[in-house]
């Protein structure tokens, strides 16, 4: 028999996120391979089946993970592995130091090669009438990142001041997951972030924005709406108490 407490365990959390482009944005199609034969005349922007340009959720997930790792490396309580040189492996339990077995909080939240992670990101779709610009750029091959001498290519870009919408979904109502996500969102709200190609040429500056999160159970129509700021304060209080008792 399923009781109300079973439903409580299955509560989900959603963070509706908006992304605004501040400079031209180019995110290449993932099937593009940087060898000479396949270099097309136009570097196309990533598009879905209906030919609508979008920002893949994995791109934004990468931004969030990198920032969470930065926060966790300054934390006395939790640990973040370096996913490039030494990713976590082993048991599904939270490890708090390099010596422990299990997964760090970043791998728990965002996953690694062996574990899917508790948080997922939808793709980010633009508001209506999205404007694609054509810009000319020196060709860059993906394998070595070196500009091909003399070759100019046309790059499809999203114009500045375009808004994209998507959301982050957490599978369980866990204070650590939602609290740290709120902390990352608030930090990212306050800074300029670069995604996509040609960042060194001033492309890809974005602003991430989210102010509320939604809390709901499957079958529920009206989610509870909570301010992200209050969530971050709750997490800070929890962490302060944990640090004092350690």
Instruction: Assess 109 for contact with Zn ion (CB under 5 A).
Output: no
Total binding residues for Zn ion by CB under 5 A?
4
d(CA 148, CA 145): 9
Give the CA-trace dihedral at 147, 65, 170, 107, to 10 degrees. 120
d(CA 228, CA 211): 6
Instruction: Assess 43 for contact with Zn ion (CB under 5 A).
Output: no
d(CA 246, CA 115): 29
Do the beta carbons of residue 162 and residue 126 sit within 8 Å? yes
Q: How far is the CB of 84 from Zn ion (least distance, A)?
A: 11
Residue from 19, 43, 88, 197 that binds Zn ion (CB under 5 A)? Answer: 88
Instruction: Assess 104 for contact with Zn ion (CB under 5 A).
Output: yes
- Lay out the site mask for Zn ion across 144-183 (x = CB under 5 A, - = otherwise): ----------------------------------------
Residue 185 parent element (H or E): helix 175-189
d(CA 53, CA 164): 10
Instruction: Assess 63 for contact with Zn ion (CB under 5 A).
Output: no
Instruction: Assess 68 for contact with Zn ion (CB under 5 A).
Output: no
Instruction: Assess 107 for contact with Zn ion (CB under 5 A).
Output: yes
Q: Which residues bind Zn ion (CB under 5 A)?
A: 81, 88, 104, 107
């Amino acid at each position: 028999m399923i009781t109300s407490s079973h439903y409580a365990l299955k509560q989900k959390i959603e963070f509706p996120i908006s992304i605004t482009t501040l400079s031209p944005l180019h995110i290449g199609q993932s099937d593009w391979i940087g060898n000479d034969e396949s270099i097309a005349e136009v570097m196309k922007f990533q598009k879905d089946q209906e030919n609508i340009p979008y920002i893949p959720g994995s791109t934004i997930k990468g931004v969030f993970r990198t920032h969470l790792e930065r926060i966790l490396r300054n934390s006395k309580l939790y640990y973040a592995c370096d996913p490039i040189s030494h990713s976590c492996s082993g048991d599904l339990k939270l490890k708090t130091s390099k010596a422990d077995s299990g997964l760090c909080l970043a791998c728990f939240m965002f996953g690694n090669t062996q574990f899917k992670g508790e948080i997922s990101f939808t793709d980010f779709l633009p508001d209506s009438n999205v404007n694609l610009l054509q810009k000319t750029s020196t060709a860059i091959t993906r394998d070595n990142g070196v500009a091909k001498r003399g070759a100019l290519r046309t790059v499809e870009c999203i114009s500045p001041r375009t808004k994209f919408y998507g959301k982050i979904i957490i599978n369980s109502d866990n204070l650590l997951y939602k609290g740290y996500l709120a902390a990352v969102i608030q930090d990212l709200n306050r800074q300029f972030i670069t995604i996509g190609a040609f960042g060194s040429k001033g492309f890809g500056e974005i602003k991430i924005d989210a102010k509320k999160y939604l809390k709901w159970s499957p079958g529920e129509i009206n989610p509870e709406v909570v301010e992200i700021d209050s969530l971050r304060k709750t997490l800070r209080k929890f962490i302060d108490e944990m640090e004092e008792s350690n």
